[in-house]
Structure 1
Amino acid sequence: MTLLAGRVAVVTGAAQGLGLAMARAYADAGARVVIGDLDQSRAEQAAATLGEAAIGVACDVVRADQVQSLVDAATGHFGRLDVFVNNAGITRDATLRTMSEDDFDQVISVHLKGCWNGTRFAAARMREQQSGAIVNISSLSGKVGMVGQSNYSAAKAGIVGMTKAAAKELAHHGIRVNAIQPGLIRSAMTEAMPQKVWDQKLSEIPMGRAGEPSEIASVALFLASDLSSYMTGTVLEVTGGRFM
């Protein structure tokens, strides 16, 4: 495909999992890709799997200077920035009674502040060319709230609000901002769940199966491309119908 031919995309938290699947979908669609990840070596290894049109850059999304450096790496190496995906995230699950203040702060910081940093620095560059697409990765947890995830659910709900606010601010600059809310997606993390927990989650999905990383990546490709040219401030649920 050539949906993103000539364009440059940055994906944070992209050394593995959903981030890498999105980066691969962008590269397959003709984009040059910058993989941002906390671990430099893993970012470089992931980029190597995508070929010469990809580079890996170390980035802690909580650090404003490092996110700015990530944007600068994209424009310095490839000359422009067309797509930015705020995907980096962590989990520190615990009940309200047992969750530490540090576990709460870390999750809010990485997801919410990280998304804010990515959005504002990407937008500053995109404004110069009066075009761009920002894709924020929220979660179904941000819609319904999950037991043991008061930090994660709050952060992911916050990303939805931030997406809508940024979309309103940036529309007249030709920049679109949209979000994806994945449901149960098959990954190393989710497959490590106890079988009882997995079966319970699966029973809540009308389509009767977990999603694949490629099924999130294809939606991220849609939002990054001109196929969604009249969409901004939207939240797309990719959940197999869970919690409609």
Structure 2
Amino acid sequence: MAQSLQGKVAVVTGAASGIGLATTRALLEAGVQVVMVDYNQDALSQLTTELGANAIAQHTNLLDADSCATMVPEILQKVDHIDILHCNAGSYIGGDLTETDTATIDRMLNLNVNAVMKNVRDVIPHMQERKTGDIIVTASVAGHMPIQWEPVYSGSKWAITCFVQTMRRQLNKHGIRVAQVSPGPVVSALLADWPEENLRKAKENGALLDPEEVSDAVIYMLSRPRTVTIRDMIVLPTNFDI
């Protein structure tokens, strides 16, 4: 039976677009106050004005060590507590490994892996003190199987799958649920690096998800009774052939 999320406080990273924005909207509809974390300050300002008083802007550059380190303390100056952390921000690299420069690899691994680990680390003491909380990470189906046309991205998501499942075991005794949602390809800016032929075929064949289909899964996971953890939800477009 679904539990109400009314009155909870959530933090969503990468909240200004894609899955992050869809999840923000879904949480707001469920009566949750949402701190929207993003590096795009103009987009945050516009969206929080549009979405109303329960949407709070937090300008953070997760690729900047100092900005990333001050994210949770700054948020806790704006809200009383954090019930939910959705680590959603990420980037994508497709193609052969030799086609990608090392600076781009560093950037993606820092965002997809390091920033997630740091955000989770920083929120744990707060949640442990309250003896409750939910941490959900946007992973990927690419974290469950080696996908040959995206070795760097797939590698980052395998790392996150391992991290999430180890943290789930560390934190469940503290009343903190840790889980991941693992979508297939989603209509978003992240697919800009997909091989054009793969993207065209996916669009034609109905093999892409809308962000709202992923946010639906996140709401389902969060609204389960505290005695239940949805460890990982893989959400695929029906015609995604992999």
TM-score by length of 2: 0.88
Aligned to 2:13: 12
Root-mean-square deviation (Å): 2.5
Superposition deviation, residue 65 in structure 1: 3.9
Shift of 1:222: 1.9
Query: Which deviates the most, 129-138 or 74-83?
Result: 74-83
Match of 1:221 among 212, 219, 222: 219
Three-state SS of the structure 2 residue aligned to 1:113 is: helix
- Rounded to whole Å, the distance in 1 between the matches of 2:183 and 2:164 is 15
What is aligned with 2:89? Answer: 88
**Shift in Å, 1:94:** 3.6
The one-letter amino acid paired with 1:29 is: A
Further displaced range: 113-122 or 222-231: 222-231
Aligned length: 240
Q: Secondary structure at the match of 1:89?
A: coil
- Where relative contact order (Cα < 8 A, 6+ residues apart) is larger, the structure is 2
- 8 Å Cα contact 1:20-1:46 kept in structure 2: no
After superposition, where does 1:110-189 map in structure 2 within 5 Å?
A: 110-189=111-190
Change (3 A) 1:2 1:74: farther
Whole-Å separation in 2 of the counterparts to 1:159 and 1:52: 33
Note if contact 1:134-1:224 (Cα within 8 Å) is conserved in structure 2: no
Q: Distance in 1 between matches of 2:107 and 2:189?
A: 22
3-state DSSP class of the match of 2:237?
A: coil
Query: Could you tell me which residue of structure 1 aligns to residue 236 of structure 2?
Result: 239
Write out aligned runs for 1:65-76 (5 A).
65-76=66-77
Distance in 2, Cα, partners of 1:151 & 1:216:
22
The 1-side partners of 2:175 and 2:99 are apart by 45
- Unaligned residue ranges in structure 2 (runs of 5+): none
Inter-CA distance 64–31: structure 2 relative to 1 (3 Å threshold): farther
Identity across matched positions, percent: 26
Normalising by structure 1, we get a TM-score of: 0.87
Whole-Å separation in 1 of the counterparts to 2:145 and 2:70: 35
